[in-house]
Amino acid sequence: MLKMTHLSKVYRTEVVETYALRDFNIDVKEGEFVAVTGPSGSGKTTFLTIAGLLETFTGGEYHLDGVEVSHLDDNARSRIRNEKIGFIFQAFNLIPDLNVFDNVEVPLRYRGMKAPERKQRIMDALERVGLASRAKHYPAELSGGQQQRVAIARALAGSPRLLLADEPTGNLDTQMARGVLELLEEIHREGATIVMVTHDPELAARAQRNVHIIDGQVVDLAEDPRFHTAYAAAAGQVRG
């Protein structure tokens, strides 16, 4: 589904070059649920933005659903984002001017879907996240957990094959975080591929596979005991 080989991403400013990712290799199979962990600034978000075609990369290769994406133009990338990928952000990123229904509708409109089908899908998605009764509410009128569930509904409504979540529970308390995770697990059971960045080892533990990023590179924790302490310390810091 998602395969990066020797991928690198350099942020250039006038004074410095930052390697956000270097010689980055990952292979996520169709239908997998992968949790990505790593210390702050290690490149997790960068990985997700490149995976989600929000950004281009500097070197290496990236095959998404079997297609090498570096040659695609802006419109083609927009279409892939719209049809194949669902995003869930840490800050929810609902559009504050639009009510819940209109927020969920945004990606469907960009797909050019007809109104009756849009409505059907929106109500189905809201039903699933348990917010059908809040369709006319505005984001500011909802709790953080509810807003994130709206964001999930928005990602779900287009039935994406790949769901990318950047610390989806980072702004939520434990109970709400558990609710969101259960929702993701359910979506995964129905066949979607999920890549979730998280700080929370407990949540990460519930994924099928854990990928750990340090300094822009994937490290295999199981095979490299040197990182065990660092990993535990980082995780403890976040929880404490």
Partner 1 sequence: MQISPILAALRYHKAGVVLIAMQIALTLAIVCNAMFIIHQRLVRMDKPSGVEESGLLVVKNEWAGKPATGQIASLMAADLDTLRKMPGVANVYATNTYPLSNGGFANGIGHSPDKRNYVSVTAVYFSDENTLSTLGLKLVEGRNFNADEINGLGDNDKIAPAVIIVTRELARRLYPDGSALGKTAYISNEPSIIIGIVDRLQIPWVDNSMARWADCSTLLPFRNLVTITHYLIRTQPEEIEDVATRVRATLYATQRLRVIRPKDGVKTFAQVRAAAYKSDRGMAILMGVISVILVATTAAGIVGLASFWVGQRRKQIGVRRALGATRQDILGYFLTENLLICMAGVVLGGLLAIGLNLWLMKQFEMERIAPGYVLAGVAMLLLLGQCAVFAPAWRASHVPPVEATRSV
Ligand X SMILES: Nc1ncnc2c1ncn2[C@@H]1O[C@H](COP(=O)(O)OP(=O)(O)O)[C@@H](O)[C@H]1O
- Binding region for partner 1 (CB under 8 A): 45, 48-49, 52-55, 74-75, 78-79, 81-83, 87, 89-91, 93, 95-99, 102, 105-107, 109-111, 154, 158, 166
Closest contact distance (angstroms) between CB of 4 and partner 1 is 17
CB burial class (10 A; 0-12, 13-18, 19+) of residue 195? buried
**In this complex, which beta carbon is closest to ligand X, that of residue 100 or of residue 194?**
194
Binding segment for ligand X among 36-44, 105-113, 127-135, 178-186 (CB under 6 A)? Answer: 36-44
**In this complex, which beta carbon is closest to ligand X, that of residue 11 or of residue 222?**
11
Residue pair 21/57 in contact (Cβ under 8 Å)? The answer is yes
Residue 63: alpha-carbon gap to chain centroid: 17
Choose which of 29, 41, 76, 220 interacts with ligand X (CB under 6 A): 41
CB burial class (10 A; 0-12, 13-18, 19+) of residue 58? middle
Q: Which residues are CB-contacts of 71 (< 8 A; sequence separation ≥ 6)?
A: none
**In this complex, which beta carbon is closest to Mg ion, that of residue 126 or of residue 164?**
164
7: closest CA among 50, 66, 45? 50
Question: Is 43 a binder of ligand X (CB under 6 A)?
Answer: yes
| Binding-site ranges for ligand X (CB under 6 A) | 11, 18, 20, 38, 40-46
